[in-house]
Amino acid sequence: MMTLYIKNMVCHRCVLSVAQVLKKNGIPAELVTMGEVKLVHALDPEQEKTLRINLEALGFEILDDQQSQLIEKIKTSLIENVQTGDLPEDFSLVQFISATFHRDYSAVSKLFSTVEGITLEHFFILQKTEKVKEWLVYNELTLSEISFRLGYSSVAYLSSQFKKVTGMTPSAFKSNHAGLRKPLDHVHNH
């Protein structure tokens, strides 16, 4: 079995797209999940070249080095945590990285900034902001419920952070939301 780590594979649609590319190329996979593909067999050089070309055409990239693979795993894991909408108020990136990846936070944070061009903290804030936008647009939860589910200590803190990222308050966003929400696989540093 062979495991590939795929950059930018951060949503359900991405998983389906990668699975289709594998099927089209006759490459059997045991598992295709966000950021990761477990192949039944190792690829020969020609298969790997074709797969890389096909994936890059869709905006994906096979990560070769372990550091890039680690960063992609961290991104995927943080996105999944935000998407569950069940972050505890005491959620700590430092503890999360240490417990989940058994790595020193400061080293991972430096590596993340180098690879992504954005701090790990800012990446996490951007993910939470997009989830807030989603809930506001779909009118699913009150701001108080959103604040609680994303681990904010208060609605005021969520509102302050939201305004720093988007330039508007959550209520202003809610009334002017048309077309401003981005799919999570398009969230980049600004």
The full DSSP string for 58-102 is: TT-EEE-SHHHHHHHHHHHHHHHHHHHT-B-TT--HHHHHHHHH-
pLDDT at 182: 56
pLDDT at 149: 94
Position 190 confidence tier, pLDDT thresholds 50, 70, 90:
very low
If you average pLDDT over residues 61-86, what whole number do you get?
A: 90
Give the domains, in start order, of the chain with CATH numbers. 2-64 (3.30.70.100), 86-186 (1.10.10.60)
pLDDT at 28: 93
pLDDT of 188 > 60? The answer is: no
> What pLDDT digit, counting tens, does each position of 144-171 carry?
999 999 999 999 999 999 999 999 999 8
The residue written with tokens 């061009």 in the block is 117
Position 55 confidence tier, pLDDT thresholds 50, 70, 90:
very high
| Cα separation, 111 vs 116, whole angstroms | 8
> What pLDDT digit, counting tens, does each position of 116-132 carry?
889 999 999 999 999 99
Percentage, residues of the chain above pLDDT 70: 93
